Structure 1
Amino acid sequence: MNLRIFSLFGVIAVALGATSATAPEATAAPRDKAFFQQVAGTWKGPGEIVAGKYKGTKFNCNLIGEPTPSGETGIKLDGTCRVGVFKQPMSAVITQNGRGYQGQFLDGAEGKGLDIISGAVNGDKVVVGINRAQLNGAMVASLRGNNTMNITISVKVEEQMVPVIGLTLDRDLDAIAVGSID
């Protein structure tokens, strides 16, 4: 499988972050922090490449979202996605940059990954702008309740956004620590 396409669908890792573009910074910060706390945790699920040369390719991802190491508003994501016997590490760091967000997937656009160039949260939906050389696109992640997230990655072709990847992640409830009362 072409590493660039595999890296493109790996950008699902960045779906767990952004900020509100319409709200004032003072009110957006607590709402953004709450959003990141809501999506932190262990997620897993299937996806499919829905357009392009690898249309129909199915994959599965296991991802863990945690607070950023620096404590800034944002998220750090690690995990893997698997296509058949091939396993690709996934990682992303997204941090607040003024009223927007910045970050990178894998080692960023200078390496084999992508740059996160913008982001916005609106209710239970996040939109993140992605870039690599002449490739521009967006990722939309929508929470469906507390335990399901649908993700669509689209790329810009001429003046139109074309969906290329779809993914549904479920919160891994088995990974949540459970205590007992004596």
Structure 2
Amino acid sequence: MTALRLASSVLAATAATVIGLAAPAMASEKDRKFFSSVEGSWSGPGEIVAGKYKGTKFVCNFTGATPGEKVGMSLDGGCRVGLFTQKMQASVEHQGRAGYRGSFMDGSDGTGLDVVGGKVDGSKVTLTLNRNQLNGAMLARLPDENTMTVTVSVLVDEQMVPVIGMNLKRVDRGAVGSVANR
């Protein structure tokens, strides 16, 4: 498995993340506000920080959008290692009592991951990831309106181990939303 394929398998939701999060029954206005703040163009470096491909660096470019009237987001773009680029696509939506659901690439039925839960808390979202026996989480944090940090972790021996880190900067003309009013 190439480093880029490993990165794409774990970057689910880069778009966006802890295992066993309880999904809220109703999405709040704060959730909607968080996801709208992800709209726009993002770019930045990342690195695989654990495992066989530890130390592999890559650069990602994403465009974030919200799904109309629903609460959630989609990210579309790709990550590059050297001359090779891997297309990335992720989406997550609030689905009533089922909470947050979505997929990265083609979900666990293909070569990607499923988003099986999630929670928005102020300026961050934590999404629960699953693929067969692989369980993990993606944490996306917006420390300010033009910066997004993403950490993807996997569950190993009942402990969450970070495997991918990314630092993205907004590259469009400005923030679409804001998480300043938490």
Contact 2:13 2:90 in 1 (8 A): no
Contact 1:14 1:94 in 2 (8 A): no
Alignment of 1:103-122 (within 5 A): 103-122=102-121
Q: Quick check: which one's helix share is greater?
A: 1
Aligned residue number for residue 46 of structure 2: 47
Aligned residue number for residue 32 of structure 1: 31
Contact 2:60 2:77 in 1 (8 A): yes
Contact 2:16 2:140 in 1 (8 A): yes
Identity of aligned residues (%): 51
Contact 1:21 1:121 in 2 (8 A): no
Corresponding residue SS for 1:15: coil
RMSD after superposition: 2.4
Corresponding residue SS for 2:86: strand
Alignment of 1:56-135 (within 5 A): 56-68=55-67, 71-99=69-97, 100-135=99-134
Aligned residue number for residue 11 of structure 2: 10
Could you say which structure has the greater relative contact order, defined with CA pairs below 8 angstroms and 6 or more residues apart? 2
Which one-letter code corresponds to 2:47 in the other structure?
A: E
TM-score (ref. length: structure 2): 0.85
Contact 1:79 1:90 in 2 (8 A): yes
Contact 1:4 1:112 in 2 (8 A): no
- State how far apart, in whole Å, the 2-side matches of 1:113 and 1:57 are: 20
Q: 1:102 to 1:3 in 2, by over 3 A?
A: same
Q: Unaligned regions of 5+ residues in structure 2, if any?
A: 176-182
Corresponding residue SS for 2:144: coil
Quote how far apart the aligned CAs of 1:73 are: 1.1
Q: Unaligned regions of 5+ residues in structure 1, if any?
A: 177-182
- State how far apart, in whole Å, the 2-side matches of 1:74 and 1:21 are: 17
Aligned residue number for residue 179 of structure 1: none
Between Structure 1 and Structure 2, how many residues are aligned?
171
Which one-letter code corresponds to 1:169 in the other structure?
A: L
- State how far apart, in whole Å, the 2-side matches of 1:21 and 1:31 are: 17
TM-score (ref. length: structure 1): 0.85
Contact 1:93 1:105 in 2 (8 A): yes
Contact 1:142 1:149 in 2 (8 A): yes
- State how far apart, in whole Å, the 2-side matches of 1:23 and 1:130 are: 16
Aligned residue number for residue 179 of structure 2: none
Quote how far apart the aligned CAs of 1:66 are: 0.9
